[in-house]
Amino acid sequence: DADVTQTPRNRITKTGKRIMLECSQTKGHDRMYWYRQDPGLGLRLIYYSFDVKDINKGEISDGYSVSRQAQAKFSLSLESAIPNQTALYFCATSEGTDPTYNEQFFGPGTRLTVL
Amino acid sequence: RKEVEQDPGPFNVPEGATVAFNCTYSNSASQSFFWYRQDCRKEPKLLMSVYSSGNEDGRFTAQLNRASQYISLLIRDSKLSDSATYLCADEGSASKIIFGSGTRLSIRP
């Protein structure tokens, strides 16, 4: 079984709709992250959470919100989707116990298209 | 200036060749660096971490040059299966990782 799962894997929606992307992990990691990936722009950090009570904005948080429901679950919401939010979205986790080592484990990604 | 910059490529090299990529970073306080490999439409996976001056794992060697603020990845005796996008990453401050935009590598028979 995959350690980091994302649902849905693919989603097509219309402008203005509210969308939630979900991420679950069985790795027992405290740290969770949401990234989006666009061609030529690499991975950009949207939000991250170091524990259930900790939520931080990344470099491109506008238009997004998150919820850390439990250690194992981190959801990303688009309150009113717009076409330039069309992208591949990745959730990731890391252990975070070693301040000098922070390997990220990624989910399989969610491909979101906003029409 | 972007925090982490990579040559996007594509690098197109014959099987068996040696290929090297560089990645520059802007945060002089960064301590940890990583190379991730990403296959088409798949998630990134850690290839190597880079500490101090560098490290080696089989055909792959990663090096860190703090004076010039870059890390490099060297692939020797390249295989067809090495074709992928290689992302460098800088842990930087606040323990959040900043990724470069990736370098595409294509190995031809």
Got the DSSP string for chain A? Answer: --SEEEE-SEEEE-TT--EEEEEEESS--SEEEEEEEETTTEEEEEEEEEETTEEEE-TT-TT-EEEEEETTEEEEEESS--GGG-EEEEEEEE--SSTT----EE---EEEEE-
Chain B residues touching A109 at Cβ < 8 A: 41-43
How close A100 comes to chain B (CA, Å)? 6
Residue A101, φ and ψ in degrees, nearest 5: -145, 120
Nearest CA in chain B to A100: B32
Among B32, B46, B87, the residue with its CB nearest the CB of A43 is B87
Q: Name the 3-class secondary structure at B81.
A: helix
- The pLDDT of residue B4 is above 80: yes
- The C-alpha atoms of residue B92 and residue B96 are separated, in whole angstroms, by 7
Among A43, A56, A109, the residue with its CB nearest the CB of B99 is A43
Locate tokens 């998630």: which residue?
A: B43
The mean of the pLDDT values for chain A is: 92
Among A59, A99, A107, the residue with its CB nearest the CB of B95 is A99
A102, A110, A111: best to mutate for the B interface, most B CBs within 10 A: A102
DSSP symbol at B82: G
Among B36, B42, B95, the residue with its CB nearest the CB of A96 is B95
Q: Are B46 and B36 in contact (CB under 8 A)?
A: yes
B26, B95, B98: best to mutate for the A interface, most A CBs within 10 A: B95
Q: Are B105 and B10 in contact (CB under 8 A)?
A: yes
Q: What is the reported pLDDT for B22?
A: 92
Chain B residues touching A41 at Cβ < 8 A: 101
How close B107 comes to chain A (CA, Å)? 20
Nearest CA in chain B to A95: B95
Alpha-carbon distance values, B108 to A19, B42, B79 (Å) = 41, 21, 9
B43, B55, B87, B91: best to mutate for the A interface, most A CBs within 10 A: B43
What are the pLDDT digits (tens) for A19-62?
A: 999 999 999 999 999 999 998 778 999 999 999 999 999 989 99
How much of chain A, in percent, has pLDDT values that exceed 70? 95
Read off the tokens for A4.
Answer: 């980091």
What are the pLDDT digits (tens) for B36-77?
A: 999 998 999 999 988 777 788 999 999 999 899 999 999 999
What are the pLDDT digits (tens) for A77-91?
A: 999 999 999 999 999
The 10 Å Cβ neighbour count of residue B23 is 27
Q: What is the reported pLDDT for B29?
A: 83
Following CA atoms B31, B37, B40, B41 in sequence, which dihedral angle do they give, to the nearest 10 degrees?
A: -50
